[in-house]
């Protein structure tokens, strides 16, 4: 529960984390448009609120020309920001209750066929479809050194941040992405980003939704995850993003025996996870029968990844 003193920055971050519920609460008659904005009426004035990107929570009154952030909007409508804490406590309680309910379900060992048939609740939306990266999923992109994993990953992330398909991989919305890599410095990454072949109309979305950390020497232990959280809060103003991409697994997390703990820590701040990883030499017969055996540390990865893409020279990953 949120009690005691809460700074303005903390309040803003929590409201942004709950932005859809927040704007629906403040302006009940509004509508969401293309998963980017929320538009509604306030005392006859038309209000638009951004719900994605670095400017999430920023709003504008098109009738009067006034504007501000989510704190200003809450204060304008509710009179003061104190009531936000009570609302956030209510939302937090609901989340805990839902989590407990899901936990209880997970604890059950078996379900009847009747229950499966009768459960008509919506299926969770893919982070990247079709079924390439699901909520809580872990996609590994494997390939030999210098095969082009980093270039492929950057192109993939640019399209996912823009909300458009890439090689039949489709995001459910423009994704907020943190990309951690330590192979390139600022200037090398700047050159690659400027060489991206992407529609200029989508550049604005990509600029807001994709944050790249150059030469990020981060290990996925408690300290490393805290550093990642700080980056997310600084650049997105929220505690969680849609996707965390790491290039590469070998560099950022050794030995592989620590992988499970690291992935679980990342899942607390990223809905989906993508990592690049090296492959080893295997026989042609093994590669054809079970291509995933080509991944270094296959046994350690087996119970963790939900999907794998293997790259060959001049070819897109085989998913």
d(Cα 230, Cα 238) in Å, to the nearest integer?
10
User: Range with the lowest mean pLDDT among 98-107, 220-229, 241-250, 252-261?
Assistant: 98-107
Which pLDDT score is estimated for 92?
Answer: 67
Evaluate whether 305 touches 260 at the Cβ level (below 8 Å). no
Sheet holding 210-213, edge to edge: 210-213, 177-181, 241-247, 270-278, 138-143, 307-312, 315-318
Q: For 36-40, what is the mean pLDDT?
A: 92
Given a cut of 80, whether residue 311 has pLDDT beyond it is no
d(Cα 175, Cα 14) in Å, to the nearest integer?
19
Per-residue pLDDT band for 313 (boundaries 50, 70, 90) equals: low
> Mean pLDDT across the chain, nearest whole number?
82
Given a cut of 80, whether residue 284 has pLDDT beyond it is no
Per-residue pLDDT band for 10 (boundaries 50, 70, 90) equals: confident
DSSP string over 122-138: PPPPPSEETTTB-TT-E
Give the closest residue to 236 by CA, choosing from 212, 204, 216.
212
Per-residue pLDDT band for 48 (boundaries 50, 70, 90) equals: very high
Given a cut of 80, whether residue 66 has pLDDT beyond it is yes
More reliable by pLDDT, 66 or 318: 66
Per-residue pLDDT band for 65 (boundaries 50, 70, 90) equals: very high
Q: For 291-303, what is the mean pLDDT?
A: 70
Given a cut of 50, whether residue 252 has pLDDT beyond it is no
Token pair in block for residue 156: 């993939």
More reliable by pLDDT, 296 or 79: 79
pLDDT digits (tens, 9 = 90+) for 145-195: 888 888 899 999 999 999 999 988 999 999 999 999 888 888 999 999 998
Tell how strand 170-171 and strand 128-129 pair up: antiparallel
d(Cα 306, Cα 113) in Å, to the nearest integer?
25
Token pair in block for residue 150: 């980093």
Token pair in block for residue 240: 């969680």
d(Cα 78, Cα 85) in Å, to the nearest integer?
12
Evaluate whether 270 touches 243 at the Cβ level (below 8 Å). yes
Which pLDDT score is estimated for 261?
Answer: 76
Given a cut of 70, whether residue 219 has pLDDT beyond it is yes
Q: For 108-136, what is the mean pLDDT?
A: 83
Which pLDDT score is estimated for 3?
Answer: 45
Which pLDDT score is estimated for 122?
Answer: 81
């Amino acid at each position: 529960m949120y009690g005691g003193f809460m700074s303005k920055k903390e309040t803003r971050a929590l409201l942004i984390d709950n932005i859809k519920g927040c704007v629906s609460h403040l302006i009940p008659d509004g509508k969401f448009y293309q998963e980017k904005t929320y538009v509604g009426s306030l005392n006859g004035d038309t209000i638009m609120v951004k719900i994605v990107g670095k400017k999430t929570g920023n709003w504008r009154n098109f009738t009067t020309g006034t504007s501000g952030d989510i704190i200003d909007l809450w204060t304008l409508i509710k009179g003061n920001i104190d009531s936000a804490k009570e609302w956030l406590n209510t939302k937090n309680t609901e989340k805990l209750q839902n989590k407990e309910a899901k936990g209880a379900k997970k604890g059950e060992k078996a379900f009847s066929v009747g229950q499966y048939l009768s459960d008509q609740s919506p299926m969770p939306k893919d982070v990247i479809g079709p079924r390439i990266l699901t909520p809580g999923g872990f996609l590994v992109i494997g390939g030999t050194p210098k095969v082009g994993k980093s270039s492929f990953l950057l192109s993939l992330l640019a399209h996912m941040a823009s909300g458009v398909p890439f090689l039949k991989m489709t995001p459910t919305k423009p994704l907020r992405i943190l990309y951690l890599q330590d192979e390139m410095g600022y200037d090398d990454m700047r050159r690659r980003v400027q060489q991206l072949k992407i529609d200029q109309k989508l550049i604005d979305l990509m600029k807001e939704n994709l944050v790249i950390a150059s030469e990020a020497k981060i290990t996925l232990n408690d300290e490393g995850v805290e550093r990642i959280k700080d980056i997310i809060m600084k650049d997105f103003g929220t505690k969680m993003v849609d996707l965390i991409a790491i290039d590469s697994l070998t560099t950022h997390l050794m030995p592989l025996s620590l992988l499970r703990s690291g992935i679980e820590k990342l899942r607390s701040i990223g809905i989906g996870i993508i990592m690049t990883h090296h492959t080893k030499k295997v026989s042609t017969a093994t590669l054809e029968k079970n291509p995933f055996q080509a991944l270094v540390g296959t046994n350690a990865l087996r119970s963790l990844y939900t999907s794998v893409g293997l790259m060959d020279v001049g070819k897109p990953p085989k998913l």
